[in-house]
Structure 1
Amino acid sequence: MAGVTAMTVQLNRMDRVSPWGFRLQGGRDFRMALSVKKVEPRSPADGQLHSGDAILAIDGYDASQMTHAQAQQMIRNSGNTLQLTVNKGLFQSLKPTGPIKFSPAAAYGYSHGHSTF
């Protein structure tokens, strides 16, 4: 894809209880690349990440084959500094277009490929 370049962003927070301020979507188990779904205003992620950013690496580890849960765990274990390598604006946020008739994930208590940090 022409004009798309990877860049590294570093997020910092005051303590491990404070949220990073972004919502993650995707993962190998959802058959879609990890990406940023939403960014909360006035959060550590605000101005650094944007909806649609593709996540290529988490703290230096290749994220291309990570499941959603693996990515979640890496982000949770990152302490007060999180380094993400991203392609800016590569993906769009997924939104349902109609009623969900059946969701195996809901039946088993899993998320729909989204996590808030």
Structure 2
Amino acid sequence: MAETESFTIVIEGGAPWGFRLQGGREFRSPLRIAGLTPGGKASKSGLLVGDYIRSVNSIECDGLRHNEAQKLVKSAGRVLNISISRGSGPPPSPREPLTPMRTTTFPIPLPVHSVEVNFNSLL
């Protein structure tokens, strides 16, 4: 049976925190830690690559877009409280359904090449 732990990690000292986020609602993927700076604050605090982010400073992250989660981290000030899930169980899924994204297509002008040929010189 898969076992998952949930707990909070406190990182102090202000940015840079030393980790990279991955995922978000628009990617249909839960937010998780994708990378750590070796010897950085996040690494020293016990955060691991693959940890799933549940909340940042008591604000739930389920259903957040990637940039919304980044803003929470950047606005943390001197102390960052990250609640995480860690283990071998299935990853949590964003709870809000995705809304269709609007796509805009812009025509790309093709370069125009002109070649001058003197047909009189071919005769």
**Share of identical aligned residues, percent?**
31
Partners of 1:42 and 1:89 in 2: how far apart? Answer: 23
TM-score for both structures, normalised by structure 1 = 0.69
Code of the residue aligned with 1:23 in structure 2: it is: R
Residue 29 (structure 1) aligned to one of 26, 31, 36: 26
- Aligned pair count reads 90
TM-score for both structures, normalised by structure 2 = 0.66
Aligned to 1:59: 57
* Unaligned residue ranges in structure 1 (runs of 5+): 93-103, 105-117
- Stretches of 4+ moved more than 4 A in 1? 89-92
Contact 2:56 2:82 in 1 (8 A): yes
Code of the residue aligned with 1:33 in structure 2: it is: P
Deviations 1:14-54 (A, max 9, x none): x4xx4100010001111100000011111110142111000
Deviations 1:47-96 (A, max 9, x none): 4211100001111111111110100000000001100000125589xxxx
Aligned to 1:2: 2
Structure ID, larger Rg:
2
Structure 1 position 3, deviation (Å): 1.6
Contact 1:57 1:63 in 2 (8 A): yes
Q: What do you get for the CA RMSD once the two structures are aligned?
A: 2.1
* Unaligned residue ranges in structure 2 (runs of 5+): 92-102, 104-123
1:83 aligns with 2:119: no
